Structures are given as C-alpha cells and as structure tokens.
Structure 1
Amino acid sequence: MKVNYKLIPILISCGLLFSACSKEDKLDSKSVFVDSEIPKNALDTYLYNTYTKPYNVEILYKYVDRESDMTYRLVPAPYESSIRLSKLMNFLIMEPYTEVAGSKQFLKNNFPKIITYTGSVPVQTNGVIILGTAESGTKVSLYNLLGLNETSGKDVAFLTGQFFKTIHHEFQHILNQNKAYPSNFKEITGTSYVDDDWNSTYPATAVGIGNAIAAGFISPYASKADTEDFAELYSYYVTRNQADFDAMINVTGSTTAGRALILSKLAIVKSYMKSEWEIDMDVLRANILARYPQLSTFDQTTLN
C-alpha cells in the first residue's frame, strides 16, 4: 500500500508536464521578428529588369559595409550618378557583348555577379589611385561616381579611363580564371615583370610610359605581372580606335622592339578570345566605337 502512495506524486507531476506541453502547442505560430520590406525605387526596378533578370547580375549602388573595402575612407555613390553609370554600362558594355556573342548567355555565364558603386576613390599609401577591383571571379567594384555628371557622362576619354576600360580589364581577369590563357604569353616578356615595383620602375610620366612601351608593356601597370599585362592589353585595345592605339605604342621613348613585343602578345590575346570565348575583339571594338558618337544625345537619366 505504501508503494501506491509514492506513485501518486509522480503521476501528478507527469500530468502537470503534459498540461504544460499542451499549453505550448497553443502558442501563436507567427514569429514576432518580421523583416520589413524596403520599397523599390525607380532605379531598383531598372536594375532588376536590365541586369538581374536577363544577366543574373546584381548592382549595389547603396553603401553596403560588408561589400566595401574598410581599409579606405569611402563615401556612397550619388543616386543620380548611379543612374548614369547603370545606363551607360548597359549601352557600352552589356549590349556590345550581347550583340557580338549572339545572346545574353555569354554575360550571364561569365560576367561578375555583383557590381558595387562607390562615390570616392581608394588611394594607396604610395599615391596610386584604384579605379576598380575584382574579387574571386564574381565581384567588381567601381569607384569615383562623384566625378560622373552631365558633362563627364558625355566625355569618352573620362568614361573610358574611369570606368569602362576598368570593367573590361576586370572582366578579363574573370574570363582568365574560368579558362586559362596560353602559357607562351608570359614567356614573351617573362623576365621583365617587376611585381609591385611597377609604379616606381615606370612612373606615370612621359618618360616612364615611353620606357614601359620600350620594354614591351602597353602601360606601366602591365609590367606588374602577366595577368595584368593580359588584361591591360585587352582593355586598351577594345576601348580605343586603331589610330589611338597606334599612338599609344608610338609615344616618345618607345622602340621598334618594344612595339613588336606588344603586338606579339596582342595576337595571343585575340586568339584566346576567339578560340576560348568565340569573341572577335575587332568586331567587339567596332561595336563599342560605333556607340561613342551617340553619347552626345544618349539619355542618361530617364529610367524606363
């Protein structure tokens, strides 16, 4: 009989436990933590329809700290400049590649998935200004949108130097990561690359640039490494007409031997783009150059 009396408290405890569990089952299933949706503005809609939907590319024009280089003091891109660059990039980058490739698939498969805009420019301790960076074959960061306005937005030299040469350069890095270029490219000037000393070896002066050309490099920065050399040659070639390109390699201080080295490497770049990506660089360049005269009347502000 004593055993029965001991079981009663235990049974009562179990009853209370089941009762508590039953009450918990009646809690509201809706979470108290609800993410608020930020309404899309006209630019958000344009970016989705023009970049994200057809190319699977996301453009971040609003400052996102996790996507920014915290090493530098940077400021966000102005809204108006973000509109201009987005429309100009579609006109001078996305459309030419799509037309030459024959479909949007080439860019959808290979173009960086994230592009960030920043108002200011990062400046290294040695005074070198960074115009753009690429990370892990998926992201490209563009700077100096503070300098993009109604006047500069129609200036081919400004647009090419600040943005579009940079985009082609960084895009080429991504293509190279997906498909390696021939090893014989590096062999042409393999012993002459100077790594991080490029800025002091070939300073951005008339003499420094001439010496770089004489050594077989299209620019001082091309002397840093063969990867940069390849991207520099590509980006300079597709954004300039033949007369301007010839003028580049015929500056004071250049040599016949240096020009021959550059042209030998350029031939490999062209062959690589044709054989690996089915992109004819001359056709791409012609398409891009044909758009330059239209910049004077191109609508850079209307979103539709």
Structure 2
Amino acid sequence: MKFNRLIFLTFTGLATLLSSCEKEDALDPNSVFVDSVIPKNPLDNYIYNNYTKPYNVELLYKYIDKESDMAYRLVPAPYEASVRLTKLMLYASMQPYDVVTGGTQFLKDNFPKLITFTGSVPVQTNGVIILGTAESGTKVSLYNLLELSEANGKNPTFLNQYFFKTIHHEFQHILNQNRPYPSNFKEISGLSYVDDEWNAKYTTTGAAVAAGFISPYASKADGEDFAELFSFYVTRSQADFDAILNSAGATAAGRTIVNNKLAIVKTYMKSEWGVDMDLLRQEILSRYSNLATFDQTTLN
C-alpha cells in the first residue's frame, strides 16, 4: 500500500508540472521589444536605387561606431557633403567602369560591398593623413567630407586628392586580392621597398620617381606601388602624368622603371579583368570636364 501511494503522489506531481507548463505556453508570444522603423530620407532612397540595386553596394554615411576606426578622433560626415560625394562618386568613379566593361556586372561582382563616409581625417602619430582604407576586400572608408563644399565638388584636383584617386587605389587592392598580379612586378624594384619609412625616405615626388616610384607612398610595398600606379594613371591626363614623371629631382632611369611597371599594370587589367586602362582614363577625364556643371545636390 505504501508503494502504491508513492506512485500516486508522483503522478500527482507530474500532473501539476504539466499544468504549469500549459500556463507558460499561454503567455503572449509577442515581444515587448519592438524595433522602431526609421523613415528613409531622399539620400537613403537614392543610395538604394543607384548603389544597392545595380551594384549590391551599401553606402554608409551615418556614423556607426563599430564601422569607424576607434583609434582616431573622428566626426560624422555632414549630410549635404554626403549627398555630394554619393552623386560624384557614382558619376565620375563608378560609371566609367560600366562604360568600359559594357554594364554593371563588373562592379557588382568586384566593387567593395560597403563604403563608409567620415567627416574628418585620421592622422597618424608621424603626421601622415590617411585618405582612405580598404578592409578584407569588402569595405572602403573615405574621409574628409567636412571639406567637400560646392566649390571643391567642382574641382577635380581636390576630388582626386581626397576621394577619386583613393577609390581607384583601394578598389585595385580588392582586385589584386581576387586575382594576384604577376610576381615579376615586385621583382622590378626588389629590395627597394621601405615599408613604413616611405614618408621619411622620400620627401618629394621627384626623389620617389628617381627611385622608380610614381609617388613616395608607392615605395611602401609592391601592393601599394601597383595600386598607386593604377590610380594615378586613370585619374590624370597624359600631360599631368608626365609632369609627375618629370618632377624636380626625377631621373630618366627612374622614369623607365615607372613605365616598365605601368606596362605590367595595364596588361594585368586587360588580361585579368578586360579593362583597357586608356579607355577607362578617357571616360573618367571626360566626366571630370563636366564637373563644373554637374548637379551635385538633386536626388531623384
């Protein structure tokens, strides 16, 4: 009898537990934490229609700390400047690739998937200003939008210095990650690369050219050398490019080295990606000539 009573008590406890579980299941399944819906402004819609849909690219102009470099004191990009750069970058830096390759697929497959805008510029302890960065072949960060006024938005020299050349430079890094360039490029300058000493080693463009580099920064490493050659070439006329090669202090021997490396860059872009750098440069420069009348602010 004691044994049977114990069993009865056990069944009674189980029934109570099941009853308790049934009450818990009856709780309201809706979460009390509901994300608020942030309405899209005209720039958000423009980005979706002109970046996300055709290229699968996200453009982040609003400040989000996890996407920012926390090692520097940085400020957000102004809305008006973000509108300007969004339109200018599409017109003068991205669409030329569409013209040369015959459509949007090349950028859709290879262009960084995230581009961030920041108002100020990161400054390293040695005084070097960072114009842009690329991460893992998927993200490019652009800086200095605080200085992007209407007048500067019509100035190809300013736009090249802070944005356009940087875009092409960082994009070239991504292309190189997907398809490495020939090893014989690095062999031309061999042991002449100076890593982080580039800023102290070459204080003028002419001195860099004399050593076989298109810019002082190109002497940092072969990957930077490759990206510098590409970005300098496609964003400048032949006259302007030649002016760099003939900077004070440059030498004929140095110019030969630069041109030999440039030939490899051109062959790489044509054979690996089907991009004729001369046609790309022609299209880019034709758009630069229209910047004085280009509408930087209308979003539609």
Aligned to 1:151: 151
Aligned to 2:285: 289
Match of 1:240 among 236, 252, 255: 236
Runs of 4+ in structure 1 deviating by more than 6 angstroms, as ranges, are none
Aligned to 2:74: 74
Q: CA deviation at 1:9?
A: 2.4
Structure 1 counterpart of 2:33, one-letter code: F
Q: Secondary structure at the residue paired with 1:98?
A: helix
Structure 1 counterpart of 2:21, one-letter code: C
Aligned to 1:256: 252
Aligned to 2:8: 8
Aligned to 2:218: 222
Q: TM-score, normalised by structure 1?
A: 0.97
Q: CA deviation at 1:35?
A: 1.7
- CA RMSD, Structure 1 to Structure 2 (Å): 0.9
Distance 2:299 2:205 in 1: 41
Q: How does 1:270-281 map to 2 (within 5 A)?
A: 270-281=266-277
Deviation string 1:28-77 (CA, Å, 9 cap, x unpaired) is 22222222221111111110111011101001100111111000000000
Distance 1:156 1:23 in 2: 69
Q: In the comparison of the two structures, how many residue pairs are matched?
A: 300
Q: Secondary structure at the residue paired with 1:296?
A: coil
Aligned to 1:112: 112
Structure 1 counterpart of 2:258, one-letter code: I
Q: How does 1:33-44 map to 2 (within 5 A)?
A: 33-44=33-44
Match of 2:261 among 265, 286, 289: 265
Distance 1:58 1:159 in 2: 21
Aligned to 2:201: 201
Q: TM-score, normalised by structure 2?
A: 0.98
- Which one is further off, 289-298 or 233-242? 289-298
Q: CA deviation at 1:225?
A: 0.7
Q: Secondary structure at the residue paired with 1:157?
A: helix
Aligned to 2:24: 24
Distance 1:22 1:125 in 2: 64
Q: CA deviation at 1:2?
A: 3.1
Asked if structure 1 preserves the Cα contact closer than 8 Å seen for 2:205 and 2:244, the reply is no
Structure 2 counterpart of 1:258, one-letter code: G
Structure 2 counterpart of 1:277, one-letter code: W
Q: Secondary structure at the residue paired with 1:140?
A: strand
Answer yes or no: is 1:168 the counterpart of 2:168: yes
Structure 2 counterpart of 1:239, one-letter code: T
Q: CA deviation at 1:279?
A: 0.1
Distance 1:29 1:15 in 2: 24
Unmatched tracts of structure 2, length 5 or more: none
Distance 2:101 2:214 in 1: 26
Deviation string 1:267-291 (CA, Å, 9 cap, x unpaired) is 0000000000000000000000001
Q: CA deviation at 1:143?
A: 0.2
Structure 2 counterpart of 1:172, one-letter code: Q
Aligned to 1:138: 138
Distance 1:183 1:3 in 2: 85
How much identity, in percent, do the aligned residues show?
A: 70
Aligned to 2:46: 46
Asked if structure 1 preserves the Cα contact closer than 8 Å seen for 2:153 and 2:159, the reply is yes
Q: Secondary structure at the residue paired with 2:191?
A: coil
Distance 2:235 2:159 in 1: 10
